[in-house]
Amino acid sequence: MKREKKRGLVLIVVGICIPLMALPFVTGFDAQKGIIKNVYETGIPLQKTTHEMPETGAKTQTKEAKDGRSLVERFTPRMIPLRYLLALGVFLIFIGIVKIDRASKTP
């Protein structure tokens, strides 16, 4: 087997394994939703979403000030969406197929 063909097969296997290995860590799945809605709304959580809001008596605070989180906490992603991992897997599978096709066409 040619070297490029082996690389293509490895890319295909990795493209299949990445989404499958991520499935145990995915949260947000609901059996009542359709497949498209589940793909868009599920992901791997990166930080805990429970946040205690401090009670303050000031009524003129903005929404950001009421949030009680720092700027870094507000802009840090809360989860990696499942659709990104699926897209990466499809991309790797496609690249693997192209590598196998190119390896079979060269003499």
What is the pTM assigned to this prediction? 0.71
The mean per-residue pLDDT over the stretch 25-30 comes to 89
Q: Strand, helix or coil at 80?
A: strand
For residue 73, the model assigns a pLDDT of: 75
For residues 28-44, one letter each, b for 16 or more C-beta atoms within 10 angstroms of the residue's C-beta and e for the rest, the string is eeeeeeeeeebeebbbb
* Of residues 85 and 105, more confidently modeled: 85
For residue 46, the model assigns a pLDDT of: 85
The mean per-residue pLDDT over the stretch 18-22 comes to 93
* Confidence at 29, pLDDT banded by 50, 70, 90: confident
Mean pLDDT of the chain: 83
